[in-house]
Amino acid sequence: MPSPISRRTLLSRTVASTVAAAPAASLLSMVSCGGPTPAAPSDWVYVGPYTRGASKGIYRLPFNSQTGVLGEPSLAAQTENPSFLALHPNNRYLYAVGELPEFQGEKGGSVSAFALTPASGALRPLNAVSSKGGGPCHLLPSPSGKFVVVANYGGGSTASYRIAPDGELSQASGFVQHEGSGPNERRQKGPHAHGIAIRPVGAELIAHVADLGIDRVLHFRIEADGSLTPWPTQPFAALAPGAGPRHVITHPSQPLAFVINELNSTITSFAIHPQTGVWTQAHTVSTLPAGYAEESTTAEIALHPNGKVLYGSNRGHDSLAVFALDPDTGGMTLTGHVSTEGKSPRNFAVHGGGEWLIAANQNSGNLTVFRIDASTGMPTYTGQSVAVDTPVCVLFAPSAAS
């Protein structure tokens, strides 16, 4: 959350406000590009913004992964507050939360499914269902593509859905209301589910849900019918009091997990027992430079595809923190900070090829492109900045040319 405005405050302002009538061309256009718009993109970049201003829904931009050139945005699908996006494993469907306190006259936000046309980047709406909790802010399909799990920040709950063969979502097949609070009276009066990772443990499929409000990563078993049950082996992994766990990821090849903590600007790694799947804290590091005393909160966390470099974003310091990762122990060594060339980097994405990174700067309304050094993993700004009003999620998707 960008401080001092909380997500709950943002939601109330969104519902109460009228969409501004500013010309789209003035706020949804390229600021500087360093090269021509790619005629035959190798990827599409999808952006999920808040729609309280000029943005109208999910935008798509062509991206050339050979040259790093990012093209201009165009509206791919009109939808309200698509603040987090995720691809189906088959790349044919895209899912989005609708970060709202109410959907179709009932409390709770929405979850929407879209069919993706790789050649054009077009999104065709399939269906939308209730998230069963206010302010959904994160979602993730399972590796098999059979389920989607959603974190409701405002409602402090987790919901799950079955995915039909045609990409449509079922009504909620599972729902768990989180309980508890934390020591931060302003941000932790109750539970606030915020991020999801999904990982198999033997024959079981486990959803790991970071809850900012209760300083825990909750572990739920995804049953065959898509319902959720607390994982009896280890119902949760605890973080430091007041840490505020925001997003959680697991290593693609090593038994490791990483949690970025919003409120105390740290990253905590966990070792995962290779047989039982139990999480044990390994290391915790600050995402801020030594001696930095101004207000700042974290946002996104991601691994480089090589599994050896870890990134986290700071809002306030407005930077990417870059860590060299020991894949055997989960140890993290800070290698540097890079300005995101904007304000409040809410989200960023690393291209699957590992050469590019795009940051979404929420408060300055721009996407910035970085080239990643192959040997160090350090990003370098390319000079490209593209304006999109209030971008809060950025996602790479392969085009037909990929």
Taking only the tens of pLDDT, the chain with its 402 residues reads: 333 344 444 443 333 333 333 333 333 333 333 344 444 678 999 999 999 999 999 999 999 999 999 999 999 999 999 999 999 999 999 999 999 989 999 899 999 999 999 999 999 999 999 999 999 999 999 999 999 999 999 999 999 999 999 999 999 999 999 999 999 999 999 999 999 999 999 999 999 999 999 999 999 999 999 999 999 999 999 999 999 999 999 999 999 999 999 999 999 999 999 999 999 999 999 999 999 999 999 999 999 999 999 999 999 999 999 999 998 899 999 999 999 999 999 999 999 999 999 999 999 999 999 999 999 999 999 999 999 999 999 999 998 744
Q: How many CB atoms lie within 10 A of CB 190?
A: 16
Torsion of CA 206, 123, 114, 191, to 10 degrees: 60
DSSP H helix total and E strand total for the chain:
2, 33
What is the distance, to the nearest Å, from the Cα of residue 27 to the centroid of all Cα atoms in its chain?
Answer: 23
Reading the block at residue 115, the tokens are 């069919």
DSSP three-state, residue 112: strand
Which letter does DSSP use for residue 99 in this model? -
* Nearest by Cα to 78 from 54, 59, 102: 59
**Domains of the chain with CATH codes:** 7-19+40-398 (2.130.10.10)
Residue 129 CB contacts under 8 Å (≥ 6 apart), including other chains: 110, 111, 161, 169, 170, 171, 172
